[in-house]
């Protein structure tokens, strides 16, 4: 660890293997809080490379609870948080629409860390049992095409990292790493990030992690979700190639709203918004979900274009299938006492 710290202090980048080995020591509790903080800050000062970010993600994945079933075409849809927008839970709501379109979704999420309400807070308020075993999560995913992975349960060794991250109170690589660490074998992914300068870098990381198709996006107003306020910046990974694209809501037949129009509240408020959207209520919340779900449906291969994905998302909501996915997930989680961690 001393040599790793010295190299980082000299602003020299680590290989993927070196970074992974350093993370292995951290996850085995072989290092001090001060050493973890030094690594975090050194990466910020130097600037993180694709290899370093991938090394961190792979180490966390390997030390997570194991998911062994090879369920085809699984997608994750989540953001890094940290955009300060105070929006409702957009990716969480969109997840049920994507699943309703026939794409298996392993939604990876947590309680609120940088935002007021996390995906776990909202789903728990509606009735979701968060404490399921990996085996039960896989069964539910295989059965109904959607499951929720509560990050602290599937990553039991990251508590020390989270403590140091919170103590630092300065955004580091570890504020961004969550969406990269889903332990389910994903084929595709939509990843929202509040740092526009890192969309292409994170697309490269997803390529390294084995995604066949992915979109990393930064929304108008620097949101970690696609926004109806204006231009959204996308890095699209497809067939091993990354292309960058700007997407305006008008490009896919949607109106514009300011980001203030999609502000949420506490878990009760955001749960109510989620349910209203899935029950078909129209307005800025729904249109925002249509945009984000449309991107997810395109990424998952069920639409030829994002605009077609938006149309499919509209049909899925209006048919009641998205709401049915939510109700099934809640019901199966509650009946899974034998599968509780």
**Residues contributing to the annotated binding site:** 79, 82-83, 87, 89-92, 107-115, 119, 165, 224-225
Report the alpha-carbon distance of residue 208 to residue 206 in Å, rounded: 5
Tokens representing residue 323 in the block: 């709401």
241-247 and 232-238 as β-strands: parallel, antiparallel, unpaired?
antiparallel
Report the alpha-carbon distance of residue 290 to residue 97 in Å, rounded: 8
SS3 8: helix
Q: Is 39 exposed, middle or buried (0-12, 13-18, 19+ CB in 10 A)?
A: buried
Q: Which H or E run includes 207?
A: helix 199-208
Report the alpha-carbon distance of residue 99 to residue 225 in Å, rounded: 18
What are the Cα distances from residue 189, in Å, to 13, 168, 183, 186, 296? 27, 29, 13, 7, 8
149, β-bridge pairs: 108
Strand segments (E) across 194-309 = 213-218, 232-238, 241-247
SS3 86: coil
What are the Cα distances from residue 234, in Å, to 28, 191, 228, 237, 243? 36, 10, 14, 10, 8
Backbone angles phi, psi at 75, to 5 degrees: -120, 150
Annotated binding site for 5-phospho-alpha-D-ribose 1-diphosphate: 79, 82-83, 87, 89-92, 107-115, 119
Report the alpha-carbon distance of residue 189 to residue 75 in Å, rounded: 5
CA angle 332, 335, 340 (to 5 degrees): 100
For 18, other C-beta atoms within 10 Å of its C-beta total: 17
Annotated binding site for Mg(2+): 91, 224-225
């Amino acid at each position: 660890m001393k040599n790793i710290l010295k190299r980082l202090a000299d602003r020299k980048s680590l290989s993927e293997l070196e970074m992974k080995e350093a993370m292995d020591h951290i996850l085995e509790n072989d290092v001090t809080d001060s050493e973890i903080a030094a690594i975090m800050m050194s990466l910020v000062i130097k600037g993180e490379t694709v290899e370093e970010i991938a090394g961190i993600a792979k180490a966390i994945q390997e030390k997570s609870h194991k998911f062994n079933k090879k369920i085809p075409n699984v997608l994750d849809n989540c953001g890094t948080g940290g955009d300060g927008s105070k929006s409702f839970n957009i990716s969480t709501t969109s997840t049920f629409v994507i699943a309703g379109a026939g794409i298996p979704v392993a939604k990876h999420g947590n309680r609120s860390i940088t935002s007021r309400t996390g995906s776990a807070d909202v789903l728990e308020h509606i009735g979701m049992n968060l404490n399921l075993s990996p085996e039960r999560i896989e069964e539910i995913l295989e059965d109904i095409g959607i499951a929720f992975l509560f990050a602290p349960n599937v990553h039991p060794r990251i508590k020390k990292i989270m403590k140091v991250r919170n103590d630092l109170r300065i955004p580091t690589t570890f504020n961004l790493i969550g969406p990269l660490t889903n332990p389910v074998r994903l084929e595709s992914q939509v990843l929202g990030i509040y740092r526009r300068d890192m969309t292409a870098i994170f697309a490269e990381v997803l390529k390294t992690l084995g995604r066949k198709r992915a979109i990393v996006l930064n929304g108008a107003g620097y949101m970690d979700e696609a926004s109806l306020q204006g231009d959204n910046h996308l890095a699209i990974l497809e067939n091993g190639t990354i292309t960058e694209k700007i997407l305006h809501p008008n490009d896919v037949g949607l109106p514009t709203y300011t980001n203030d129009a999609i502000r949420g509240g506490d878990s009760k408020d955001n749960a109510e918004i989620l349910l209203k959207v899935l029950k078909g209520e129209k307005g800025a919340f729904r249109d925002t979900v249509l945009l984000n779900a449309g991107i997810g449906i395109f990424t998952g291969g069920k639409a030829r274009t994002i605009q077609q994905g938006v149309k499919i998302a509209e049909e899925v909501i209006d048919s009641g299938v998205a709401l049915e996915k939510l109700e099934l997930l809640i019901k199966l989680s509650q009946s899974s006492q034998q599968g509780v961690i």
